[in-house]
Amino acid sequence: MAPAKPLKSPSVQRVGGRRPGPRAAAQAARVEAIFARLAALNPQPRGELEYLNHFTLLVAVVLSAQATDAGVNKATRGLFAMADEPRKMAALGEAALAEKIRTIGLFRTKAKNVIALSEALLRDHGGQVPARFESLRALPGVGRKTANVVLNIAFGEPRIAVDTHVFRVSNRIPIARGKNPEAVERGLMRVVPPAYLTHAHHWLILHGRYICKARAPLCKICPIVDLCRFEAKTL
């Protein structure tokens, strides 16, 4: 599939009935250029968590908190083969689930939450993962980031989930600065052009994971290095 087409001219978008000033227009053009390059390199980015359906996606994202995707995938391959829907997961029980995910950080708390959310899905949603943010947030163990990931991947909503990589990259480049993930999320939702919103957090996650790393960013191979204002570039 071809990469999403950029907006024709971010500089002519009106704010409050007025054209934005030169500085705002330049910033909008810079943000659009960043995502245009990331889109050209990876038109259809995918998250690295493995899942079989909406339910296993939800469980995988809950388990991924403070854990690596690779570590979660290793633990869930066998788990999802035997418990790929809420009824089977609830029947497994907290103790058995904890044993299967014990290699993941905070496995006891996560096992408790996964069993509780499975029961809640059966009780309140007919065993289906809801497609509403508020309903997802009401499930045990589901935070703002998890709800946004599920809505984006499972239901195609233009949501931005801010994890540690997105938070770092957005503040570092910068694209949208914020003191906490929710502030960064709000900022990104304001400045990312609509054509790129659906995949924006995937591009930022992958960029932060493999290039714009926390301690040693690989600026020499960065495709957006000339658009980045990070003062401590490793050039």
Q: Which amino acid, residue 60? A: A
Whether the Cβ atoms of residue 75 and residue 103 lie closer than 8 Å to each other: yes
Sign for the CA dihedral angle at 19, 23, 25, 31 comes to: negative
Please tell me which residue in 5, 163, 179, 220 is annotated as part of the active site: 163
CA distance 172 to 11: 24
- Cα 9 to Cα 20: distance, rounded to the nearest angstrom: 12
Which residues 6+ apart lie within 8 Å of 146 measured at CB?
58, 61, 62, 65, 136, 161
Catalytic residue among 145, 179, 213, 226: 145
Per the CB < 8 A criterion, the answer to whether 201 and 153 are in contact is: no
The reply to whether 233 belongs to the active site is no
Distance CA 174, CA 188 (A): 10
Q: Is 88 a catalytic residue?
A: no
CA atoms within 13 A on the CB side of 2: 3
Dist. CA 137–CA 158, nearest whole Å:
17
Positions marked active-site: 145, 163
